[in-house]
Each structure stands twice: as structure tokens, then as C-alpha cells.
């Protein structure tokens, strides 16, 4: 009887609490309300990009192959920012807006070195929702972010997460090293590429570009190009269709400390194997290798200049050299510290525009 009374008392108290504090069926947390607001206001500015590439079967019959990606509307003229790899090699481009309308698109400009591209549609201004750009220099690890895109062709998908790390590096399509890449755990899958990574103000802080995954699906390691990189190159992409990247025109080999000791340099650095004709390095009188020697499992072209510093900064790898040059402008002068025949000296060279594959 005592246990029954206790049970009835507990039920009675629970009913009083529920009556006093009724649960709201549609109650949302402030974070959920913010997510919903960003999705409603920004998803109309995210487009689905369908690409068609013509390949040929063994009888040389054309076989259309389709791919898809995402993009962000960046102005009322119909310009759309996306990844270069999304539209690479495409013969036909079609953009689907958030309202389901489809528009033929043309390529405005491409930048393989930053994996960015701008395409354009001729749609009325009232159909174009522009997503504002933020400042990727101010973002921090742990900051909440949102990604909107079209993973696996599922249009208008929202995922959330945080910035997991900053300052990552990644190889671009043309072999150039992209720096300061954003890492996020917001789910990014095939089809998200080219779509925006947003802060909680609804501003673009990155362009989703890749995932690291052994299973070709999101495992919480995604990467985005900082929006400040895009803001820097968009004017060139729109005005002339490409971006001028500086180069010095060498093929170099990283020499580790152990290899350096064997080769007689005693310090690690970059050994110049070859120099492109009429490139800045050629004009500055740098020398490439002449003989090939085998050191363990490595074939090394020796006899060329050995680079140990750029503008006084110690470097040991081609990635470090590319990173320094990538932050310079065409026409700037850099100073290389060179080791040649046991003598250290400095060479000034003027950076030139990297030749483009399409001429």
C-alpha cells in the first residue's frame, strides 16, 4: 500500500509539472532558428551545375557523360562561382536554380591553380539571389559553419559543423600548391564541390572543394578554398578569363639532409634539374643539371644550382618555394640564395607569368 501511495504521488507531481510547463511542439533552439534562417535566405543563391562531357566508345561513337556540382551566385549579372574541376572539360553546362528553372551556362573564366571558375547564365535579375562574401582571414578553429550544395545530385542540402583546422595545403589541378585551405567536419560529398561554406552570418567564407575519404563519402574531413582567394581572382576571371600566376621556370628536386650529405651540399635545399628556355631562371643565368647519378633508389640530375633561401627565408622543398612565389605578383623581383660549386651567392630575378596550357 505504501508503494502504491508513493507511485500515485509521483504521478500527481508529474502531472502538475507538465501542466505548469507544457512542451511546445514547435519549439526551436536559437541555433536551430539560425540554421533555418540561413537556409531559407541563402539556398536560393546556391545552384546545381550539370556538366556534359563527350567521350567516345571503341567504335568512335560520341557518348555523353554527365557530372554535377554546386555554385554560388555572386552578382545580379548572372555570374556564378564554382570549382574549376566541376566544369573542367565540359562541352555543355546547365544550371538549375533553386526554383527549378534551368538555364544554359557559359564559362567566363577558369583558374586551375586555385581550382576556381566563374560561369554565367542569362537569367532575369529577379531570379538571382546573391550570397554575400565574408572575410576568411578572420575565421577561427571551432567556429560553426554551414554548407549548402547538391551532394549526389540531391539539390538544396544543408549540413553543419565547425572549422576543424586552418592552413592546410592541397595540390591544384595544374600542380600548384594551394595554401591556407580550410578544413571542416561539415559533411561534404560528391556534388557539394563548388558550393558555399557559410558562417553564421550567412556569408561565404569558403568554396567547398574536396573531401578526404577512403570510402568516397564524407567521414568528416572536408576542405574549402578561402573566399578571400576567390575575391582576389574573380575580377581577373571576369575581365580576361584567366588569372596570371607568377613562376620562375624551373624543375627542381627536394634534397633532404641525408641526400645533401651524400651529394656534398651538407644542408637540405632544392636542386635545379632543368630550366625552361627564356623563363626568369634562364634570364637570370641560373644553371640546371647536367649528369644523372643514382643514390640508393633515387635518380638525381646533378650539376645544377642549389637553392637554399628566397628573400632571406630558408627553404628546403619545392612546395615551400611554390608557396612563396604564389603569394607574389607577376613582375615582382625575388632574391634567391644559391649554392654553386661550393660558393654561395645571390641572384635577383623578375617573376613572369606562368604559361597557360591553352596557350
Catalytic pick among 43, 68, 70, 115: 115
> Per-residue confidence at 306, pLDDT binned at 50, 70, 90?
very high
Measured at the alpha carbon of residue 170, what is the angle toward residues 168 and 174, in degrees to the nearest 5?
Answer: 155
Span 262-275, pLDDT tens digits: 888 889 999 999 99
d(CA 286, CA 224) in angstroms, rounded, equals 37
Q: What was the pLDDT predicted at 5?
A: 57
Report in angstroms the alpha-carbon separations of 155 from 47, 113, 152, 198: 8, 28, 8, 17
pTM, two decimals, is 0.77
Q: Domains (ranges, CATH) in the chain?
A: 42-127 (2.40.10.10), 136-240 (2.40.10.10), 246-353 (2.30.42.10)
d(CA 51, CA 150) in angstroms, rounded, equals 14
Catalytic pick among 43, 193, 218, 322: 193
Span 139-189, pLDDT tens digits: 999 999 999 988 766 777 899 999 999 988 887 766 677 888 999 988 887
Alpha helices in 21-83 (DSSP H): 30-42
Which residue(s) pair with 300 in the sheet?
293
Q: Is the confidence at residue 107, as pLDDT, over 90?
A: yes
d(CA 174, CA 320) in angstroms, rounded, equals 16
Total Cβ atoms within 10 A of residue 114: 26
Q: Is 70 labeled as catalytic in the residue annotation?
A: no
d(CA 232, CA 176) in angstroms, rounded, equals 17
Q: What was the pLDDT predicted at 187?
A: 81
Q: Is 193 labeled as catalytic in the residue annotation?
A: yes
**DSSP state for residue 247 in the 8-state scheme:** E
CA 107 to chain centre: 19
Q: What was the pLDDT predicted at 359?
A: 42
The percentage of the chain sitting over the pLDDT mark of 90, rounded to a whole number, equals 52
Mean pLDDT, residues 75-84 taken together: 95
d(CA 340, CA 307) in angstroms, rounded, equals 9
Residue in the block written with cell 550544395? 149
Q: Is 135 labeled as catalytic in the residue annotation?
A: no
Amino acid at each position: 500500500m505504501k508503494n502504491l501511495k508513493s507511485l500515485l504521488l509521483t504521478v500527481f507531481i508529474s502531472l502538475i509539472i507538465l501542466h505548469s510547463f507544457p512542451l511546445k511542439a514547435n519549439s526551436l533552439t536559437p541555433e536551430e532558428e539560425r540554421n533555418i534562417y540561413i537556409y531559407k535566405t541563402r539556398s536560393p543563391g546556391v545552384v546545381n551545375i550539370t556538366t556534359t562531357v563527350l567521350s567516345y566508345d571503341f567504335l568512335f561513337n560520341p557518348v555523353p557523360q554527365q557530372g554535377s556540382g554546386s555554385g554560388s551566385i555572386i552578382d545580379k549579372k548572372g555570374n556564378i562561382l564554382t570549382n574549376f574541376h566541376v566544369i573542367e572539360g565540359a562541352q555543355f553546362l546547365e544550371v538549375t536554380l533553386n526554383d527549378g528553372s534551368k538555364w544554359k551556362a557559359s564559362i567566363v573564366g577558369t583558374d586551375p591553380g586555385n581550382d576556381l571558375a566563374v560561369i554565367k547564365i542569362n537569367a532575369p535579375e529577379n531570379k538571382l539571389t546573391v550570397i554575400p562574401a565574408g572575410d576568411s582571414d578572420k575565421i577561427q578553429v571551432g567556429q560553426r559553419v554551414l554548407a549548402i550544395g547538391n551532394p549526389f545530385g540531391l539539390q538544396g542540402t544543408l549540413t553543419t559543423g565547425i572549422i576543424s583546422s586552418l592552413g592546410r595545403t592541397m595540390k591544384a589541378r595544374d600542380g600548384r600548391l594551394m595554401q591556407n585551405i580550410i578544413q571542416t567536419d561539415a559533411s561534404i560529398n560528391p556534388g557539394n564541390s563548388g558550393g558555399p561554406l557559410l558562417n553564421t552570418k550567412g556569408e561565404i567564407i569558403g568554396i567547398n572543394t574536396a573531401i578526404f575519404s577512403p570510402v568516397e563519402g564524407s567521414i568528416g574531413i572536408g576542405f574549402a578554398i578561402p573566399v578571400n582567394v576567390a575575391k582576389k581572382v574573380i575580377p581577373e576571371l571576369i575581365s580576361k578569363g584567366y588569372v596570371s600566376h607568377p613562376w620562375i621556370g624551373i624543375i627542381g628536386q627536394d634534397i633532404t639532409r641525408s641526400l645533401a650529405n651524400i651529394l656534398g651540399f651538407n644542408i637540405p635545399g632544392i636542386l635545379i634539374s632543368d630550366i625552361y628556355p627564356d623563363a626568369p631562371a634562364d634570364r637570370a643565368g641560373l644553371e640546371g643539371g647536367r649528369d644523372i647519378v643514382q643514390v640508393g633508389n633515387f635518380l638525381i640530375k646533378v650539376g645544377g644550382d642549389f637553392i637554399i633561401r628566397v628573400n632571406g627565408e630558408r627553404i628546403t622543398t619545392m612546395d615551400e618555394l611554390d608557396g612563396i612565389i604564389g603569394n607574389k605578383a607577376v613582375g615582382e623581383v625575388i632574391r634567391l640564395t644559391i649554392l654553386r660549386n661550393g660558393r654561395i651567392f645571390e641572384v635577383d630575378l623578375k617573376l613572369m607569368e606562368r604559361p597557360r596550357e591553352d596557350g
